[in-house]
């Protein structure tokens, strides 16, 4: 557990990384935090959340962490209690843009840049929302690579890559979608902050950033689904072409097999059986059958 405390004349910011149950309960008593809110901080929750209790706002923010080796997206959580003169944050230490901000900031800079708790609260949320866009750009690059490889004849290899990318996009959407709703709810809590006029614009900006990210993600979802359909169509076409060739070969072999089977009966009165060139005559008949059948297939444009 790591604890950082920043104090200005207007507010206190207390950040706790990997908080223990005892630390959470201690802060709950000190700041009169609602029990259900502190319980949410002790176990990972499924979705973002915003509630108002006892003169403070409790916000759960999700951040999509891309795991390169596992090739999947994991949701990391930032829990925020924002009162009139305090900000309390709980997290796991695995949210890169937030931990970098926390590492680079100091008390003097907070005093200089953030005159009240609302301005710091807004900046933290905006930093997280802006950090979505490099992740979306990375997803876009993956989709572009898949698009190129599909038309280079790598349809079968792309099936797994499309599935993995689609899963990551859907996981990303499960985070961004609900978060947009939370930001819209947060706009209605503007009276919790002072001055209201400035915070109204800032909270509106957060909603716009969340909406922009969600719109971009929806475009990626549509693109990957279209590529999946295209890839399936190409695989299906190749399979059909292969089956067509195999069917033609089977049809051609059928009369040849019949001829060979008939002459394998060794009946004495069969045509050409005693002829010195019987093998060549029968072979010529078989070749003629093949040529006639191929000509018929070509005329019908089956091959």
Regarding beta strands 56-67 and 49-53, do their DSSP bridges make them parallel or antiparallel, or are they unpaired? antiparallel
pLDDT tens profile 56-85: 999 999 888 876 555 677 888 999 999 999
Comparing 267 with 173, which gets the higher pLDDT?
173
Q: What is the pLDDT of residue 125?
A: 94
Contact, 64 vs 172, CB < 8 A? yes
Q: Sort residue 295 into left (φ over 0), alpha (ψ -120 to 50) or beta.
A: alpha
pLDDT tens-digit readout, 223-240: 999 999 999 888 888 888
The whole-chain average pLDDT of the chain stands at 87
Domains of the chain: 2-237 (3.30.460.20), 241-299 (1.20.58)
pLDDT bucket at 294, cuts 50 / 70 / 90: confident
Highest mean pLDDT, choosing among 246-255, 258-267, 271-280: 246-255
Residue showing tokens 């923010």: 61
Of residues 13 and 298, more confidently modeled = 13
pLDDT at residue 270 tops 80? no
Mean pLDDT value of segment 18-40:
91
pLDDT value of position 68 = 58
Average pLDDT, integer, range 79-93: 93
pLDDT tens-place string over residues 114-130: 999 999 999 999 999 99
Closest CA to 60 of 49, 75, 72, 46: 49
- Considering just the CA atoms, what is the radius of gyration of the chain in Å? 34
pLDDT at 208: 93
* Residue range 34-61: mean pLDDT, rounded: 88
The average pLDDT across 264-287 equals: 76
User: 132 or 263: which carries more pLDDT confidence?
Assistant: 132
pLDDT (tens digit, 9 = 90+) per residue, 120-156?
Answer: 999 999 999 999 999 899 889 989 999 999 888 888 8
- Residue 280's pLDDT is 82
At residue 17, the pLDDT reads 92
> Taking residues 91-100, what's their average pLDDT?
91
In the structure, what pLDDT confidence band is assigned to residue 277 with cuts at 50, 70 and 90?
Answer: confident
Supply the pLDDT for residue 67: 61
- Judge whether 61 and 76 are in contact, CB under 8 Å: no
Q: Answer for the pair 102, 95: CB distance below 8 angstroms, yes or no.
A: no
Closest C-alpha among 166, 143, 146, 165 to residue 156: 146
Q: Token pair for residue 167? A: 């899963």
Q: Are residues 80 and 91 in contact, defined by beta-carbon separation less than 8 angstroms?
A: no
Q: Rounded mean pLDDT of 250-276? A: 78
Cα atoms in the 13 Å half-sphere on the side-chain side of 12: 7
pLDDT at 59: 94
Percent of the chain with pLDDT over 90: 37
Asked if residues 83 and 55 have their Cβ atoms less than 8 Å apart, the reply is yes
pLDDT at 119: 92
Cβ atoms of residues 59 and 182 within 8 Å:
yes
pLDDT at residue 246 in the model: 84
What per-residue confidence (pLDDT) applies to 71? 67
Contact 101, 121 (CB under 8 A): no
Helix (H, G, I), strand (E, B) or coil at 105: coil
Q: How confident is the model at residue 14 (pLDDT cuts 50, 70, 90)?
A: very high
């Amino acid at each position: 557990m790591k604890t950082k405390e920043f104090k200005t004349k207007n507010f206190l910011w207390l950040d706790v990384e990997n908080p223990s149950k005892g630390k959470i309960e201690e802060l709950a008593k000190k700041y009169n935090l609602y029990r259900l809110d502190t319980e949410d901080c002790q176990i990972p929750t499924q979705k973002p959340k915003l509630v108002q209790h006892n003169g403070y706002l409790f916000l759960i923010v999700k951040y999509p962490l891309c795991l390169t080796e596992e090739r999947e997206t994991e949701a990391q959580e930032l829990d925020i209690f924002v009162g009139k003169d305090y900000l309390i944050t709980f997290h796991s230490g695995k949210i890169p843009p937030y931990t970098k901000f926390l590492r680079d900031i100091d008390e003097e800079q907070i005093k200089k840049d953030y005159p009240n708790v609302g301005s710091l609260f807004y900046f933290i949320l905006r930093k997280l929302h802006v950090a979505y866009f490099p992740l979306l750009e990375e997803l876009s690059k993956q989709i572009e690579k898949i698009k190129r490889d599909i038309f280079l004849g790598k349809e079968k290899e792309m099936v797994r890559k499309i599935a993995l990318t689609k899963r990551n996009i859907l996981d990303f959407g499960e985070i961004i979608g609900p978060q947009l709703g939370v930001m819209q709810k947060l706009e209605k809590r503007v009276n919790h902050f002072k001055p209201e006029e400035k915070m109204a614009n800032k909270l509106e900006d957060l909603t716009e950033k969340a909406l922009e990210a969600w719109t971009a993600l929806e475009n990626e979802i549509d693109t990957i689904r279209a590529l999946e359909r295209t890839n399936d169509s190409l695989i299906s076409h190749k399979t059909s072409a292969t089956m067509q060739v195999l069917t033609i070969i089977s049809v051609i072999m059928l009369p040849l097999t019949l001829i060979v089977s008939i002459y394998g009966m060794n009946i004495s009165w069969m045509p050409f059986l005693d002829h010195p060139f019987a093998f060549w005559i029968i072979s010529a008949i078989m070749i003629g059958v093949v040529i006639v059948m191929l000509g018929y297939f070509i005329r019908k444009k089956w091959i």
